Amino acid sequence: LSELEALMERMKRLQEDKEDEEASQEEMATRFEKEKKESLLVISGGICAFPASFSFDDEIVSTDVSRYIEDPGFGYKDFARRGEDHLPTFRAQDYTWENHGFSLVNRLYSDIGHLLDEKFRMVYNLTYNTMATHEDVDTTTLRRALFNYVHCMYGIRYDDYDYGEVNQLLERSLKVYIKTVTCYPERTTKRMYDSYWRQFKHSEKVHVNLLLMEARMQAELLYALRAITRHLT
């Protein structure tokens, strides 16, 4: 099977399995923890264990970008270090954008919540119902996997989502691309862009970028707004 046909077959099989039998809460929690830990091993350029000499402090911004910022050493850091037994988890059910963040940000800055919510929804729901040359395709499962994988990298878990779908739908090269675009955008290259979904249209791959950026922004807002809520109460 081609890459495209294999992906569509996995999407179809996931839907059939979901109709036949749903995973238990315990199984879904285990799959999330597995995906969260594996996301720590995804670095730009490949998926691997960090070498003994690796240090998070060794990460530097490329010189082309560093001249435009005051602190060249400022950048993304994984929310937990590799090897930790108990990685922190942000349960989305305890603090969601829809039920908590939206109303708070509107209180802090009138109407900005409506604008952000519209932006999140528009990008998440955007679809031509196509996959490359195939038409009338429901891409909801794939879009949800992309969005939730970004939140998973930030330690955010949705209790009602089976993270086994992420592992089945997002292959290695795509996970590398996702983490690079989301966490180290200055390192993204055309080679990485070309390495996944080779049969897809550019417009479809650009939509992936939009999804990743909006998912990251929402994840960052959830952490910030939760902190503000705790401070206010």
Say how many domains are in the chain: 1
Question: What pLDDT shows up at residue 50?
Answer: 33
In this structure, is residue 98 part of a structural domain? Answer: yes
Domain residue limits at 48: 3-54+79-232
What percent of the chain clears pLDDT 70, i.e. is strictly above it? Answer: 84
In this structure, is residue 132 part of a structural domain? Answer: yes
Average pLDDT value for residue range 138-157: 95
In this structure, is residue 60 part of a structural domain? Answer: no
In this structure, is residue 59 part of a structural domain? Answer: no
Phi and psi at residue 157, to the nearest 5° = -120, 135
Average pLDDT value for residue range 114-137: 95
In this structure, is residue 74 part of a structural domain? Answer: no
In this structure, is residue 61 part of a structural domain? Answer: no
Residue 101 has pLDDT above 80, yes or no: yes
In this structure, is residue 68 part of a structural domain? Answer: no
Average pLDDT value for residue range 145-157: 95
In this structure, is residue 65 part of a structural domain? Answer: no
Give this prediction's pTM: 0.85
